[in-house]
């Protein structure tokens, strides 16, 4: 068996990435089609993949032509299954993830939303003129699953605009079953907010390209009995032992909104200093973007959640290879050759990153195996991201140099 699918007490343990986009969303590769996604998902090691953009008319037609089944769909006998999924933006600029149980329910939801969107068929991520409470009602009427996308990001996360789920989702807030962490946060950070303890956390890729560098760069390992939408719903509700048992994703420091930072000069800020300056950069006068970490700390009301499944920090294998050998481009022949050796030997990328014994990885490439071991032991360091710039992975043993703005209270003589 060349992909990760374990049987354990009559349960299946599968890897799932439940948020991607189609070629009909802005800034997305035109290679994002089901045949390509199915092939690349196998190389990555994903058994369940969101379809992305399932309310867009042309993409929905593509899905109906290629996918067979009910609830959870297959493609041409491939190992990877698909679930109907989309992302929408409500009037307040908050993004939400929707999972739907059938094509008929996708058609039904489309009909409900047509009068609330002027770009439903122009962009895979449509803009709606309604808010969180209204879209929640429509999704639940269609028997779907619903929750905030990349919940902490400064522009489009629910916590960028609201202080609680109830403020956004109103009377349906208690029916929200999951929350997507996004690249700039992980379970350890998000669980500092006690209202989130009951929710299932999802770590998804939000991929705009079908290849393993982007696809399932964050993913979830979940326990189910079989591939059905009802089983997926039980996972989100943590019911009958179905649940997410492992979240895997970037170090939050890698996210481009992790720390508070000036958008212009890229100076880092501590929360208290940014507040004193009213979020105007003391170095250049530009706007300081509030970082995800600082936003979570503002809302924090507890130390964490001991019941939360483990979170493993990972990076795409190509990026690890390039860093290990100090190769500037991820698309070089030498990076591809090493990546292919690992995949040929172990079947898929996820197995290499988190499952295969380090001793076996060392037989393929000792330097890369050393980095993978460091990831597994949380010994990786990086320059953190912020202000719209991604963090940067550092070679082993190097410590990041971070320059924070040094706030200085003006003296009376300066007035």
pLDDT of residue 397: 85
Q: What is the DSSP string of 272-304?
A: HHHHHTTTB-TTTS-BEEPPHHHHHHHH--SS-
Residue 408 to residue 220: CA distance in whole angstroms: 45
The residue out of 212, 238, 253 marking a domain boundary is: 253
Residue 303 lies in a domain: no
Are residues 341 and 200 located together in one domain of the fold?
A: no
Residue 143 to residue 141: CA distance in whole angstroms: 5
Residue 200 lies in a domain: yes
Residue 124 to residue 375: CA distance in whole angstroms: 34
Tokens of 210: 């079908």
Are residues 227 and 153 located together in one domain of the fold?
A: yes
Residue 394 lies in a domain: no
Residue 389 lies in a domain: no
Q: State phi, psi for 103 to the nearest 5 degrees.
A: -65, -35
Q: What is the DSSP string of 130-158?
A: S-HHHHHHHHHHTT-EEEESSTT-TTTSH
pLDDT of residue 409: 62
Q: Which domain holds residue 119?
A: 6-253
Instruction: Give the number of other Cβ atoms within 10 Å of residue 168's Cβ.
Output: 24
Give the CATH number for residue 29.
3.20.20.140
The residue out of 253, 285, 303 marking a domain boundary is: 253
Are residues 321 and 230 located together in one domain of the fold?
A: no
Are residues 234 and 326 located together in one domain of the fold?
A: no
Tokens of 299: 């809302």
The residue out of 253, 272, 301 marking a domain boundary is: 253
Are residues 36 and 158 located together in one domain of the fold?
A: yes
Parallel, antiparallel, or unpaired: how do β-strands 243-249 and 382-383 relate?
unpaired
Tokens of 141: 């009427």
CB 155 within 8 A of CB 148: no
Parallel, antiparallel, or unpaired: how do β-strands 68-70 and 48-50 relate?
unpaired
What's the CA angle centered on 69, arms 64 and 74, to 5 degrees? 80
Residue 280 lies in a domain: no
- Total domain count for the chain? 2
pLDDT of residue 367: 97
pLDDT in tens, the chain (415 residues): 344 444 445 899 999 999 999 999 999 999 999 999 999 999 999 999 999 999 999 999 999 999 999 999 999 999 999 999 999 999 999 999 999 999 999 999 999 999 999 999 999 999 999 999 999 999 999 999 999 999 999 899 999 999 999 999 999 999 999 999 999 999 999 999 999 999 999 999 999 999 999 999 999 999 999 999 999 999 999 999 999 999 999 999 999 999 999 999 999 999 999 999 999 999 999 999 999 999 999 999 999 999 999 999 999 999 999 999 999 899 999 999 999 999 999 999 999 999 999 999 999 999 999 999 999 999 999 899 999 999 988 888 888 888 899 877 654 444 3
Residue 407 lies in a domain: no
CB 147 within 8 A of CB 198: no
Nearest to 205 by CA among 220, 194, 227: 220
For helices 34-44 and 57-66, the axis angle rounded to 10 degrees is 70
Instruction: For the chain, give the longest Cα–Cα distance.
Output: 77
Tokens of 245: 């048992």
Are residues 66 and 138 located together in one domain of the fold?
A: yes
Are residues 246 and 331 located together in one domain of the fold?
A: no
pLDDT of residue 411: 46
Are residues 231 and 337 located together in one domain of the fold?
A: no
| DSSP SS3 for 340 | helix
pLDDT of residue 393: 87
pLDDT of residue 410: 54
Are residues 331 and 231 located together in one domain of the fold?
A: no
Tokens of 10: 């009559």
Q: Which residues contact 119 (CB under 8 A, 6 or more apart)?
A: 126, 127
Are residues 249 and 330 located together in one domain of the fold?
A: no
Residue 337 lies in a domain: yes
Q: Structure pTM?
A: 0.94
What's the CA angle centered on 281, arms 283 and 158, to 5 degrees? 150
Residue 88 to residue 94: CA distance in whole angstroms: 8
Are residues 37 and 113 located together in one domain of the fold?
A: yes
What's the CA angle centered on 299, arms 296 and 304, to 5 degrees? 70
pLDDT of residue 232: 98
Residue 121 lies in a domain: yes
| DSSP SS3 for 248 | strand
Are residues 230 and 346 located together in one domain of the fold?
A: no
pLDDT of residue 9: 58
pLDDT of residue 356: 98
């Amino acid at each position: 068996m060349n992909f990760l699918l374990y049987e354990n007490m009559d349960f299946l343990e599968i890897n799932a990435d439940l948020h991607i986009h189609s070629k009909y969303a802005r800034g997305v590769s035109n290679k994002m089609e089901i045949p390509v996604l199915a092939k690349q998902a196998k190389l990555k090691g994903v058994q369940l993949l969101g379809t992305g953009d399932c309310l867009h008319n042309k993409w929905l037609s593509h899905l109906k032509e290629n996918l067979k089944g009910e609830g959870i769909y297959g493609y041409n006998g491939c190992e990877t299954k698909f679930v109907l999924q989309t992302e929408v933006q409500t009037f307040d600029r908050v993004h939400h993830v929707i999972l739907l149980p059938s094509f008929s329910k996708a058609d039904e939801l489309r009909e409900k939303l047509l009068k609330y969107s002027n770009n439903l068929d122009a962009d895979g991520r449509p803009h709606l003129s309604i808010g969180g409470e209204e879209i929640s009602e429509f999704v639940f009427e269609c028997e779907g699953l619903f929750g905030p996308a990349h919940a902490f990001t400064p522009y489009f996360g629910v916590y960028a605009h609201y202080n609680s789920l109830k403020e956004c989702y109103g009377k349906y807030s208690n029916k929200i079953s999951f929350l997507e962490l996004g690249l700039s946060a992980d379970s350890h950070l998000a669980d500092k907010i006690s209202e989130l303890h009951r929710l299932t956390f999802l770590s998804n890729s939000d991929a705009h390209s079908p290849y393993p560098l982007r696809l399932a760069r964050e993913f979830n390992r979940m326990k189910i009995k079989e591939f059905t939408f009802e089983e997926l719903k039980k996972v989100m509700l943590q019911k009958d032992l179905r649940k997410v048992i492992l979240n895997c994703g970037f170090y939050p420091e890698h996210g481009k909104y992790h720390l508070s930072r000036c958008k212009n000069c890229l100076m880092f800020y501590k929360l208290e200093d940014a507040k004193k300056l009213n979020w105007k950069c003391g170095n250049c006068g530009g706007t300081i973007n509030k970082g995800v970490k600082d936003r979570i700390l503002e809302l924090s009301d507890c130390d964490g959640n001991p019941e939360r499944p483990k979170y493993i920090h990972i990076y795409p294998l190509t990026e690890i290879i390039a860093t290990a050998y100090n190769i500037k481009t991820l698309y070089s022949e030498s990076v591809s050759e090493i990546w292919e050796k690992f995949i040929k030997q172990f079947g898929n990328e996820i197995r290499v990153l988190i499952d295969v014994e380090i001793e076996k990885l060392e037989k393929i490439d000792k330097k890369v195996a050393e980095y993978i071991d460091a990831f597994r032991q949380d010994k990786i360091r990086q320059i953190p991201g912020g202000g719209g710039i991604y963090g940067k992975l550092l070679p082993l043993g190097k410590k990041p140099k971070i320059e924070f703005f040094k706030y200085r209270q003006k003296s009376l003589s300066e007035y």
